[in-house]
Structure 1
């Protein structure tokens, strides 16, 4: 969930404009590598679809649609039966996905990929019981403007509201749960959503829940206002750094092990590449 990067689907490119809002995924991009943020948000460079990310999108769609059925009918067979139709819908909405299996003449890779999606859907039933859940919201787009003027936005997979009014925010992850030392960065996205809900509704969510379908783990966290105030301060500092980089055009690459997965090595100075001409006006600093 969150704003996706440019996808190379042939849509008419929008003119470059300064960033106007922040989502959890784009905040994570900037923290990982400011130049990656620039390539995705300002240059809107196309990126090739990946099997893992597309499988995640497909599984999310199935889990969202399953709740259309009456509670008693939310079964494993029903969920698995949704997969082919949701895959067809996804391909129609994003024609570039045909690239994923273009060289798969006998359909073996596609069959294996769909089987992996099935396993993830099946595992969800061991972690939560959809017959006992009635989500208040699914795939909920949220947006809030902070007092500072910073606009936060994102898409929450599921919002549950207890009869007592307590709110639980749930996010599905199709990968494996992080090691404990990395749990804090995993929770950043959830605290971001909690902050938006707090600012919108005046209610601090009672629980944040990450459901890891890849490993069968559920990570929960109960936030308090001080937590969310810390996240707000962090986001304001992040936004100030983004604003400065936008005005000066100074977007530094930050090399990490993740560089090997990046689609933009041809444009990255770390790999001998040259970024595209900067499409926004620069604000001179100094004499």
Structure 2
């Protein structure tokens, strides 16, 4: 959790968040790259991919009408045109990083879920899974932003190791390669995991879940200020910015009454508003 209080606002309080241009563009580009593989290999060209953008944008608007708020006050459509143009550039850049005419994904936008021995459920959506004729598995994730500096690469790879752990537990196969494709900067980050890596991730997730369980039961969700706070929708209710969080919607147990059960891992009781699983970042 980058910010425990933000986790509470999103998962427990379920406070609404405004759509952002960057996140919505990412959703659009993901949809285009997914749909491109519906075409025969020879037809998977950059012009065809860019031609998919208007239709996928219309579908996105149909499913999420609130996205029209993004371009209010743009009667001439100039901002929208620039935004769609950036989506085109991201899609076109992908062709310099991968050759879709040589790829036949086994899965696209695959929802995965598994339960660990502890009872903790893990779930997420994987952009693409490739399977070699030899059976080796590659997990691919598209990012429309720029690649992180080397010292921050581990944080980005944690998401991929999370997915690898889910696949390992589900299929009993450790993925051969994890691949992050950064369309914003034109970089590809790869990592070849081993079982020990995924076992460490599992231990980290169990520790994280224990912290979530304790915070859920005590109501103690502390803010963790970072430079990302400037983009947070919930500053008005965050103590770091002089705000007051909404009334905690769950029953609370004093911290001392929880200490006796900290040693065992169990799913949080599925009461209204309580989290019952960890989702991929």
Matched, 1:82 2:52: yes
SS at match of 1:169: strand
Where does residue 146 of structure 2 map in the other structure? 176
Number of aligned residue pairs: 257
SS at match of 1:214: coil
Matched, 1:64 2:34: yes
Aligned counterparts of 2:255 and 2:136: Cα–Cα separation in 1: 49
Within the candidate set 183, 188, 193, 2:163 is matched to: 193
- Please report how far the alpha carbon of residue 285 of structure 1 lies from its aligned counterpart in structure 2 after TM superposition: 3.4
Question: Per-residue displacement from partner, 1:230-282 (whole Å, max 9, x unpaired)?
Answer: 00000000000000000000000011111111100011011111111111111
Where does residue 17 of structure 1 map in the other structure? none
Aligned counterparts of 1:195 and 1:99: Cα–Cα separation in 2: 38
Matched, 1:160 2:130: yes
Where does residue 95 of structure 1 map in the other structure? 65
Within the candidate set 263, 274, 282, 2:233 is matched to: 263
- Please report how far the alpha carbon of residue 103 of structure 1 lies from its aligned counterpart in structure 2 after TM superposition: 1.0
Any gaps of 5 or more consecutive residues in structure 1?
Answer: 1-29
- Please report how far the alpha carbon of residue 36 of structure 1 lies from its aligned counterpart in structure 2 after TM superposition: 0.3
RMSD: 0.7
Aligned counterparts of 1:270 and 1:185: Cα–Cα separation in 2: 24
Matched, 1:120 2:85: no
Question: Per-residue displacement from partner, 1:32-83 (whole Å, max 9, x unpaired)?
Answer: 1100000000001000100000000000000000000000000111101100
Aligned counterparts of 2:70 and 2:200: Cα–Cα separation in 1: 41
Aligned counterparts of 1:264 and 1:286: Cα–Cα separation in 2: 30
Q: Please report the TM-score for the alignment, with normalisation by the length of structure 2.
A: 0.91
SS at match of 1:282: coil
Aligned counterparts of 1:151 and 1:164: Cα–Cα separation in 2: 30
Any gaps of 5 or more consecutive residues in structure 2?
Answer: 258-281
- Detail structure 1 runs of 4+ shifted over 4 Å in the superposition: none
Within the candidate set 194, 197, 200, 1:227 is matched to: 197
Change (3 A) 1:105 1:196: same
Q: Please report the TM-score for the alignment, with normalisation by the length of structure 1.
A: 0.89
Within the candidate set 8, 14, 17, 1:44 is matched to: 14
- Please report how far the alpha carbon of residue 284 of structure 1 lies from its aligned counterpart in structure 2 after TM superposition: 2.7
Aligned counterparts of 1:44 and 1:159: Cα–Cα separation in 2: 31
Within the candidate set 243, 258, 261, 2:213 is matched to: 243
Within the candidate set 159, 165, 186, 1:216 is matched to: 186
